[in-house]
């Protein structure tokens, strides 16, 4: 444990250096998260004549720009690395190190955070300039909790990817399972359309699933659509999901590593 803690600063530095070295890859990642802008254009067209529910054009603007910021900072890509390394057998090298592979994956993800924050600055600036600070929550507690909710969102993304990635120990490639996860995420997280606008039964389903806590919960909180009490309750649910997934990741990885047989490498 102490050894792991001592290694973390170095691993983070390595992660940062990696993210700078593979700038182009990073840029591709950033480009692939532009869907909220497309949806913003679409929903603005829908709301041009009259607001939809609680959402007018300005609210849609705030919603999708906040969604873009959350998505930029809460994204993880560990699933591709895990799938690739298990299939190619190169995971063996990672296992030789005296550190749990998930810790080193997490560090390389967190190491890229400075660049991601940098990329989201223009979005924040654009949101504040065009919409004004009035579109966002003024509750100091909620504003202070916002980073925590984004961290929670990132943890859910990362841990879910780790669990799905661990399936690759049993079925060699878990990318189609992940595709399924991504499809459900697209609808149930509020990434495409705010959950409120869904038919009632779909909204209720979405509120129970973990996807919402990866995106629409922080977004709705920061644009001031969730009252304080509800936000605190949802924060508790979010971190419960984090704890459950952390446990699941630990169990699946322990079981998976026992099965792991490196080919080639």
List the interface residues with another protein, window 32-91 (CB under 8 A). Answer: 32-35, 37-38, 41-43, 45-46, 52-53, 77, 80, 84
151-172 burial, b at 16+ Cβ within 10 Å, e below that, comes to bbbbbbbbbbbbbbbbbbbeee
Place of tokens 């993800």: 109
Under the binding rule (CB under 8 A), the answer on residue 31 touching another protein is yes
In the bound complex, what is the minimum distance in angstroms from residue 11's beta carbon to another protein? 19
Give the C-alpha separation, 205 to 12, whole Å.
Answer: 37
Query: How many Cβ atoms sit within 10 Å of the Cβ of residue 234?
Result: 21
Is residue 108 within 8 A of residue 21, CB to CB? The reply is no
The verdict on 192 binding another protein (CB under 8 A) reads: yes
Q: Least distance in Å: CB of 105 to another protein? A: 15
**Distance of closest approach, residue 94 Cβ to another protein, in angstroms:** 17
- Contact code string over 209-248 relative to another protein, x by CB under 8 A: ----------------------------------------
Which residue, 104 or 149, is less far from another protein as judged by CB?
104
Q: Which of 9, 133, 147, 183 binds another protein (CB under 8 A)?
A: 183
Helix orientation angle between 101-111 and 140-171, rounded to the nearest 10 degrees: 130
Question: Please, what is the angle between helix 57-74 and helix 113-131, to 10°?
Answer: 170
- Report if residue 22 touches another protein, rule: CB under 8 A: yes
Burial category of 229 from C-beta neighbours within 10 Å (exposed 0-12, middle 13-18, buried 19 and up): exposed
Closest of 32, 55, 37 to residue 198, by C-alpha: 55
Taking CB under 8 A as the binding criterion, the range among 105-113, 178-186, 223-231, 254-262 that sits at the site for another protein is 178-186
**Interface residues with another protein (CB under 8 A)?**
22, 24-25, 28-29, 31-35, 37-38, 41-43, 45-46, 52-53, 77, 80, 84, 176, 179-180, 183, 187, 192-193, 197-199, 202
């Amino acid at each position: 444990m102490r050894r792991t803690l001592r290694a973390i600063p170095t691993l983070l530095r390595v992660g940062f250096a990696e993210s700078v070295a593979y700038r182009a890859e990073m840029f591709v990642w950033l480009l692939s998260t532009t869907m909220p802008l497309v949806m913003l254009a679409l929903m603005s067209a829908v709301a041009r004549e009259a607001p939809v529910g609680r959402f007018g054009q300005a609210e849609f603007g705030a919603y999708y720009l906040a969604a873009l910021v959350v998505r930029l900072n809460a994204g993880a890509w560990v699933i591709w690395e895990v799938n690739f390394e298990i299939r190619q057998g190169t995971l063996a090298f990672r296992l030789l190190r005296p550190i749990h592979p998930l810790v080193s994956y997490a560090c390389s993800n967190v190491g890229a955070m400075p660049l991601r924050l940098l990329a989201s600055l223009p979005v924040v600036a654009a949101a504040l300039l065009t919409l004004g600070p009035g579109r966002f929550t003024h509750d100091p507690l909620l504003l202070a909790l916002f980073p925590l909710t984004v961290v929670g969102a990132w943890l859910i993304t990362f841990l879910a990817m780790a669990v799905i990635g661990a399936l690759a120990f049993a079925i060699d490639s878990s990318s189609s399972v992940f595709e399924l996860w991504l499809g459900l995420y697209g609808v149930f997280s509020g990434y495409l359309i705010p959950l409120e606008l869904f038919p009632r039964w779909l909204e209720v389903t979405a509120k129970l699933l973990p996807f919402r806590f990866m995106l629409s919960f922080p977004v709705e909180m920061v644009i001031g659509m969730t009252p304080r009490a509800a936000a605190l309750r949802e924060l508790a649910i979010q971190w419960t999901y984090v704890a459950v997934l952390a446990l699941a990741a630990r169990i699946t990885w322990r079981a998976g590593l026992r099965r792991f047989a490196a080919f080639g490498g």
